[in-house]
Chain A
Amino acid sequence: MAYLPAADFETRMSQLAANAPTLCTKAAFPNATVSEPGIGPTTYSFLKIANGAGAARPTLLIVAGMHAREWAQPDATLVFAEKLISVYQAGSDFTVPSYTDAAGNTHGPLTVPAATIKRIVDTLTMIFVPLGNPDGRAFSQAAPANKDWRKNRAPRAVAADPSTVGVDINRNFDIAWDFDVYYSAAFVASGLLSASKNPTRDNFIGTAAGGPASQPEVKNLVWLLDNNPITYCIDLHAYSELVMYPWGIEENGSDPAQTFRDPAFNGTRDGHLSNAYSEYFPDVAPARLLRTHETIAQSMRDAIRTVTGRRYTVGPIATTVYPATGSLSDYAFSRQFTIAGSPPFHSFALEFGDSTDNFQPDPISPHGYARIEREVHAVLLRFLQAALPPVAVAAGGGGSGPCAFTLAVIDILAGSEWLSTLRLARAAMLARVSTRGFAVTIDRAYRAASRALAPTLARRRWARLAIAYGIVAPAATLLGAAKKARRS
């Protein structure tokens, strides 16, 4: 494996769109990059993947590569888009292959059934931006000395000083952008705030004259949010093994009066936990937005653990790391509070890999890029599944009748995998002469029990959870372990 040169992303996206014209369109962003001489300007593109169209479709935004040196996530995202279309066209499951770690332990595979993949592509509209900072990546790839380049290649902020090239585009969005206004002076001086007004720094937010959203790469993402009914956004980065959600500007709170929109709180944010100020994150019914974020983030963490065995940390950004301003994940999330009539918005930011992976995991070692790719794919699968509208929980029967297990796991992201494991085991028992009679007997008893339980499961979430986590998940785990043991 070799990392894709920046320019090759356009070629690969063109090929994908050409190979699946009814499912995938490639479109150019309205703003070309504006860069220091030597690289660019670059007109670059995004992909829109969907079978069908319509404003009512849940619309998702997947972004990678905003930081130039983070090479693995763009490649993995592009490969994901290609694979998603491939398995959809083939009517196949999406399988993240198993991985054997350095200690010899095998993890995964993780499989999302073909029926779910079909539902994803038929129901959702997915916008992929595999490379959010093409000129930055091109520069970082130009020489090993540039490997740590993070910013875009915005022309130097100080004309005579070449060290002032570039803006951190993930600090340039219009959310608490001018951090001196929002935070205490002591916190700004502490070095803990991950944003800077010094143009030589890696996390330079952009010039005062330019203001927030000055960079074309940022304008392009805002344009997507302005022109598509996006309600889910995920931003993929490296590194630190983190699965996070807003807020990044301050710890989350439940007081609607404490909000970035109220200038009365200017200068009071200090990045420390359990102080007087915290940023409002709604958690009221029916959206239960905070709880939903927690659930989805946990499912992503669990999926990572399934495919590679690694334990990522889950939490709100500002509780996990110290605050930063001007990020995509916060900005996208904030729009529901600043644009009247906006629906609830779901936003996630991930940091893949650990310090040994670093920003450019080894492309050759199976424990380098190949491991990161599995984790990215597992997360994106969970992200897409999370956006699927809930399936109506039908109490009645008809045809073959209700399936208690299917009803039980209906709103659990890993449920489709558990069911897949149970179905495979059932099929194996039915196929074997020695176990067929037993399997048929169990089947009859199960169907009778399902018919009896269905009305309760339709009405009572506690009943569904009890069966899901008390029976379905353990059974799937045991069957999965037995299958692995037989293989080895």
Chain B
Amino acid sequence: MPTLDQAVVDIVCPIDQVAALQAIPTVTIQTRPRRTDDAARVLFSGLANSAGQDAARALGCIVTVVKSAEEYSAQIEHVYRGLGDSPETEEPTG
């Protein structure tokens, strides 16, 4: 299985930059926007590679890497290994 290049990240985002954050192609937002103590900021979690993390920071977001890409990749490998996945398995179309 190829190593994933996206780390697991928590992102605190200014509320007026949410749409822009969601549009960054190298950021995968996995959670609903969570309210914080600061009404002007929301918390997301998801996946982002280095470019995505930089792009989010450029919007004024605070990006925290909570699991490295290597660790997350190993986790996914464990997950799929038990299902009998082989590295050559291709994504079904559609």
Contacts and interface: CB of A to CB of B under 8 A. Distances in A.
Interface of A: 1-3, 5, 36-39, 71, 139, 141-148, 156, 162, 165, 189-192, 194, 239-240, 272-273, 319-322, 324, 351, 354-356, 358-365, 368
A156 B93 CA distance: 12
Contacts of B51: none
B92 A363 contact: no
Contact of A148 (B10, B30, B90): B30
A421 B50 CA distance: 51
Contact of B75 (A38, A190, A321, A362): A362
Contacts of A354: 45, 66
Given A3-B83, A191-B19, A240-B45, A321 B94 contact: no
Given A142-B89, A162-B94, A324 B32 contact: yes
8 contacts: A3-B82, A39-B92, A194-B33, A319-B35, A355-B8, A358-B8, A359-B30, A360-B76
Interface in B35-66: 35, 39, 42, 45-47, 66
A412 to B, nearest CB: 30
Main secondary structure of the interface of A (DSSP, over half): loop
A38 B91 CA distance: 11
Given A142-B89, A192-B15, A194-B33, A37 B94 contact: yes
B83 to A, nearest CB: 6
Contacts of A319: 35
Given A320-B34, A356-B67, 15 more contacts: A2-B82, A38-B93, A139-B92, A142-B92, A147-B80, A156-B94, A162-B94, A165-B94, A191-B21, A322-B33, A355-B10, A355-B30, A355-B46, A360-B75, A361-B75
A273 B19 CA distance: 20
Contacts of B66: 354-356
Interface of B: 1, 8-10, 15, 18-19, 21-22, 28, 30-35, 39, 42, 45-47, 66-67, 72, 75-83, 85, 89-94
Nearest to B28: A148
Given A322-B32, A360-B75, A38 B83 contact: no
B94 to A, nearest CB: 4
Contacts of B78: 362-365
Nearest to B4: A144
Contacts of B67: 355-356, 358
Q: Which of B1, B47, B67, B83 has the most CB of A within 10 A?
A: B83
A144 B85 contact: yes
A368 B39 CA distance: 32
Contacts of A39: 92
Given A192-B18, A239-B45, A356-B66, A71 B79 contact: yes
B38 to A, nearest CB: 13
Main secondary structure of the interface of B (DSSP, over half): mixed
B35 A355 contact: no
Contact of A239 (B9, B31, B77, B93): B31
Nearest to A358: B8
Nearest to A201: B22
Contacts of A362: 75, 78-79
Contacts of B89: 142-144
Nearest to A153: B94
Contact of A358 (B30, B34, B83): B30
Given A144-B1, A165-B94, A189-B19, A358 B33 contact: no
A143 B75 contact: no
B82 to A, nearest CB: 3
Given A191-B18, A362-B78, A145 B91 contact: yes
Nearest to A35: B94
Contact of B92 (A38, A191, A273, A356): A38
Contacts of B34: 240, 320-322
Top 7 nearest A-B pairs by Cβ distance? Answer: A2-B82, A191-B19, A355-B45, A191-B18, A145-B91, A162-B94, A321-B32
Given A148-B28, A194-B32, A322-B35, A143 B94 contact: no
Nearest to A369: B79
Nearest to A313: B34
A151 to B, nearest CB: 12
B53 to A, nearest CB: 14
A144 B72 CA distance: 12
Contact of A36 (B33, B76, B94): B94
A25 to B, nearest CB: 29
Nearest to B90: A143
B33 A144 contact: no
B18 A190 contact: yes
A143 B91 contact: yes
Nearest to B2: A144
Nearest to A320: B35
Contact of B9 (A3, A156, A272, A355): A355
A164 to B, nearest CB: 9
Given A36-B94, A190-B18, A363-B78, A143 B39 contact: no
A162 B93 contact: yes
Contacts of A320: 34-35
Contacts of A190: 15, 18-19
Contacts of B94: 36-38, 156, 162, 165
Contacts of A165: 94
